[in-house]
Chain A
Amino acid sequence: MKDLLRVEAVSKHFGGIKALTDVSFTVRKGEIFGVIGPNGAGKTTLFNALTGLYQPDSGAIELDGVSLYRRKPHQILKTGFARTFQNIRLFHNMTALENVMVGRHTRTTSGVLAALLHTAHNRKEERDCAAYAMQLLNRVGIGKHAHSLAKNLSYGDQRRLEIARALASEPKLLALDEPAAGMNPNEKNALRELMVSLRSEGLTLMLIEHDVKLVMGICDRLVVLDYGEKIAEGTPETVRHDPKVIAAYLGAEVAA
């Protein structure tokens, strides 16, 4: 399988705290790639460094041959790397539909002049954008809430809306930061089905998740972080039996 994302020796520190130290791994096209680790291991920092919200101190990041190192978030999104947030970050006072339409910002072009003149191109683009957004809302199963404000959606629906917004940019790689957090078993199942069906359509997914059952069941490969360093990488089966991983989760004595 071809490599899609190549992360090489990425480091990030905040003052004296080393949040990430020389983290390297590759994500292959069409897989679901898990990022796990105990609390504070640097998982979200890794996502932020990859998607441009933090500037990494050193290293190399490439998506499909294009360097993402120290690019701005909107540039990274445009190259095809979309993400969701651990603590849901929606545009609360916009409708669900508008949220997804914002997600299509980089795939649309109308500027001020086009909007003022309502050019034929602009009208068509707006129509297509709304239709595409509606389709995505239906896809994640919240089409009936299209005209509700994002803040009025239930917790699980907000998570799904965030995924729809990320999908609107037509990414090659979608990074989900704890998408199942706070979901009930039914919602988790629906999420799992969604991820599997997205993979079957050729999308590559990265996943930070604490629900071990979900991660082990769905991920093709994983990387395990602890104290900002990679301690293991491989299939769920190999990672599960890695003594370093067991030590990180359960303490050194158990592993020994």
Chain B
Amino acid sequence: MNVLEALRSKVWLSAGLLLIGLLLLPFLVEAGLGKSWVRILDFALLYIMLALGLNIVVGYAGLLDLGYVAFYAVGAYCWALLASPHFGLNLPFWMILPMGAALAALFGVLLGAPTLRLRGDYLAIVTLGFGEIIRIFMNNLNSPVNITNGPQGITQIEPVSLFGFSLGKTQEVFGLTLSSPHLYYYLFLVCVALVVFVSMRLENSRIGRAWVAIREDEMAAAASGINTRNVKLLAFAMGATFGGLSGGLFASFQGFVSPESFNLMESIMILAMIVLGGMGNIWGVILGAILVTMIPEALRYTGDLQRALFGQVYVDPADLRMLLFGIALVLMMIFRPAGLLPSKQRKRELAEEAP
């Protein structure tokens, strides 16, 4: 057996182990940390999809988008309106999910078109405004015609259901009893795999290179034959598609959506994920999404810790976790400004400097 074959079998072996690990993960998490952590795991997967979507816009094309959560909202409301008693509709998920993603893509183009000439800070301000506009719309579209049910949000949203197999309740599968968060975990895992696949393929393609070229130098990109308008709109649309997809999944998983879930802080958090993890690097972004979702949850335990140490809670864990999270971000920017897993360009650069 030559080296290459050995290497290849090693790759397959580790891929297989990873897959088994991912399949077993919710059980291990439930046994080790409790039931609530399976839900947190599900949210981590949702945020991975969101972060990878924003990564296309910010990481590849270099367009600082602070209103990304708007596309999440569009996807979520699309699902909520088409599969809930609110309008008495109950379309199947294979119809709504692509519709939500496509609608989000359309909104991506709608946001992208007027901002084509803007860059950097100016683009950030306009996208921030766009994100808020969508949220305020959702908040106020309850009169004169009640479309979004305003701040009360939409409840009793149908869960994902495949041939009568609902992910919304506990099910018996191959003798295993799986609760709803477990079932959603596997659905989200498939979706994340899809999103990772799409990101990887796009990254190493003619379009991916065009995005990076625009990020690096828009004028030179135009002079190199790139239709910067179309390619930027494509980045907005692709990123928004991922946002819409995760929004729809979020609505079905949560069973409830309200404008509150789509505030500016969400956009900032998603941006923090990709900055923390390593902008432009798929694995870095995934790591960032996991950490930013998990760390604030883990820091909830500081309340218990305080009680154990001092007999009472001095600082509310909710305040403390944002504080610690902020410190963590500042430290990151000081010690690893390119993120935990920098993009391949950065790595290449470091490798070059080493010898």
Which residues of A come within 8 Å of B, CB atoms?
Answer: 51-53, 72-74, 77-78, 82-83, 85, 89-95, 98, 101-103, 105-106, 108, 110-112, 114-116, 118, 122, 125-126, 129, 147-149, 152, 165-166, 169
- Identify which of B201, B238, B345 contacts A118 (C-beta below 8 A): B201
Residue B337 is within 8 A (CB to CB) of chain A in the complex: no
Known: A105-B226, A115-B205, A115-B207. 10 other contacts (CB 8 A): A82-B223, A83-B223, A98-B209, A102-B209, A102-B213, A105-B225, A112-B207, A116-B198, A149-B349, A149-B352
- Nearest-Cβ distance from residue A123 to partner chain B, whole angstroms: 11
Alpha-carbon separation in the docked complex, A94 to B345 (Å): 7
Q: Which residues of B contact A125 (CB under 8 A)?
A: 206
CB-based contact A74/B352 at 8 Å = no
Alpha-carbon separation in the docked complex, A147 to B351 (Å): 12
Q: Which residues of A contact B234 (CB under 8 A)?
A: 112
Q: Which residues of A contact B227 (CB under 8 A)?
A: 72, 74
Q: Which residues of B contact A111 (CB under 8 A)?
A: 206-207
Q: Which residues of A contact B212 (CB under 8 A)?
A: 91, 93-94, 98
Residue of A nearest to B345 (CB): A93
Residue of A nearest to B228 (CB): A74
A selection of 6 A-B contacts at a CB cut-off of 8 Å is A53-B222, A77-B223, A89-B219, A91-B216, A102-B224, A103-B224
- Nearest-Cβ distance from residue B280 to partner chain A, whole angstroms: 9
- Identify which of A53, A95, A122 contacts B223 (C-beta below 8 A): A53
Which positions 305-355 of chain B face chain A at CB distance < 8 Å? 345-346, 348-349, 352
Q: Which residues of B contact A92 (CB under 8 A)?
A: 216-217
Q: Which residues of B contact A103 (CB under 8 A)?
A: 224-225
Q: Which residues of B contact A74 (CB under 8 A)?
A: 222, 225-228
CB-based contact A85/B222 at 8 Å = no
Residue of B nearest to A152 (CB): B352
Q: How large is the interface on B (under 10, 10 to 19, 20 to 34, 35 or more residues)?
A: 20 to 34
CB-based contact A102/B202 at 8 Å = no
Which positions 246-270 of chain B face chain A at CB distance < 8 Å? none
Residue of B nearest to A149 (CB): B349
Alpha-carbon separation in the docked complex, A115 to B227 (Å): 18
Alpha-carbon separation in the docked complex, A72 to B231 (Å): 14
Alpha-carbon separation in the docked complex, A93 to B202 (Å): 18
CB-based contact B222/A112 at 8 Å = no
Q: Which residues of B contact A122 (CB under 8 A)?
A: 205
Residue of B nearest to A169 (CB): B225
Q: Please judge, given known A-B contacts A91-B212, A112-B238, A149-B349, whether A105 and B217 are in contact too, CB under 8 Å.
A: no
Residue B147 is within 8 A (CB to CB) of chain A in the complex: no
Alpha-carbon separation in the docked complex, A92 to B217 (Å): 8
Residue of A nearest to B205 (CB): A115
CB-based contact A115/B208 at 8 Å = yes
Residue of A nearest to B230 (CB): A74
Binary contact track B32-69/A, C-beta < 8 Å → 1, others 0: 00000000000000000000000000000000000000
CB-based contact B226/A102 at 8 Å = yes
- Identify which of A90, A116, A166 contacts B201 (C-beta below 8 A): A116
Alpha-carbon separation in the docked complex, A82 to B201 (Å): 29
Alpha-carbon separation in the docked complex, A165 to B216 (Å): 15
A-B CB proximity, top 6 nearest:
A115-B205, A106-B225, A91-B216, A89-B220, A73-B222, A77-B225
Q: Which residues of A contact B187 (CB under 8 A)?
A: none
Residue B96 is within 8 A (CB to CB) of chain A in the complex: no
CB-based contact A101/B217 at 8 Å = no
CB-based contact A94/B209 at 8 Å = yes
Alpha-carbon separation in the docked complex, A51 to B227 (Å): 14
Interface centre among A89, A95, A105, A147 (most CB of B within 10 A): A105
Residue B126 is within 8 A (CB to CB) of chain A in the complex: no
CB-based contact A115/B225 at 8 Å = no
Q: Which residues of A contact B226 (CB under 8 A)?
A: 74, 102, 105
- Identify which of B216, B228, B238 contacts A94 (C-beta below 8 A): B216
Alpha-carbon separation in the docked complex, A118 to B203 (Å): 13
Residue B106 is within 8 A (CB to CB) of chain A in the complex: no
Alpha-carbon separation in the docked complex, A95 to B206 (Å): 14
Residue B99 is within 8 A (CB to CB) of chain A in the complex: no
Residue B103 is within 8 A (CB to CB) of chain A in the complex: no
- Nearest-Cβ distance from residue A83 to partner chain B, whole angstroms: 6
- Identify which of A53, A83, A149 contacts B348 (C-beta below 8 A): A149
Alpha-carbon separation in the docked complex, A165 to B209 (Å): 13
- Nearest-Cβ distance from residue B259 to partner chain A, whole angstroms: 32
Q: Which residues of A contact B201 (CB under 8 A)?
A: 115-116, 118
Alpha-carbon separation in the docked complex, A90 to B111 (Å): 29
- Nearest-Cβ distance from residue B193 to partner chain A, whole angstroms: 14
Residue B74 is within 8 A (CB to CB) of chain A in the complex: no
CB-based contact B224/A169 at 8 Å = yes
Alpha-carbon separation in the docked complex, A111 to B208 (Å): 10
Alpha-carbon separation in the docked complex, A63 to B165 (Å): 64
Alpha-carbon separation in the docked complex, A152 to B216 (Å): 15
Q: Which residues of B contact A118 (CB under 8 A)?
A: 201
Q: Which residues of B contact A116 (CB under 8 A)?
A: 198, 201-202
- Identify which of A82, A85, A101, A114 contacts B209 (C-beta below 8 A): A101
Residue B285 is within 8 A (CB to CB) of chain A in the complex: no
